[in-house]
Structure 1
Amino acid sequence: MSVLHLLAARDVLAAGYEIGTGRLVPTSAAAVGLAGVVLGVLAVTRAARPSAARRAVVALAAGLVSATVGGVHWANVAGGLGTGNGLAGAVMAVALGAVAVVAAGLALVRTRRAA
């Protein structure tokens, strides 16, 4: 076998495991939403610290971006779950974005009371 045949065979075998924009965008949005949830929970649990308000604002922004990108992708996806179009990632992005927004809101209320 020549090197070209081996490279062509590698491309054929790896073709099923590539991640396209259909999965990459909602997965990235879900990761941003998860980061927002973590920051929001940290801001809620440490509301008396001066950095809590900044964490809450970043969590709020991350949650809004996550929910918006996930919602737009969810609305435009063709097919259902398991089709490879990223529907599950979009649903997770919307859910995590909503949780991040709620946690950020609670953190902002707590930081205002602590100040």
Structure 2
Amino acid sequence: MSKIKLTALPCICADVFYGSEIIRPGGEALNFAAHASHFKDIDVTLLGVVGKDKYAEAIMDSISKLDIDKNHIRIDERYQTANNMTYLTESGDRYYKDDSWNGEILDNIVL
């Protein structure tokens, strides 16, 4: 039986928790690839772009041990890695403000 070849693209980003040093890697493509990598009959490739910053480091560290082909994640030093400033209510629920999202790197992506 041959393996399924799966490519996840393009949203790789980080949730940054306001007022802390907490960075949580995510984005639709990253989350999908990470989940799919746990199945032995799937070859997973993650295709996307990150900046050269602490968000990219957190993302790459988080997937370093996963069985994902990371050779198609490009570094674009002109932009910050896509990120979403995440706020917490007193009860711990997440919320976002209108200007929370910084996805300029994805607005200008060239695959």
The alignment's TM-score, normalised by the length of structure 2, stands at 0.30
Higher relative contact order (CA 8 A, sep 6+): 1
More helix as a share of residues: 1
The alignment's TM-score, normalised by the length of structure 1, stands at 0.29
More strand as a share of residues: 2
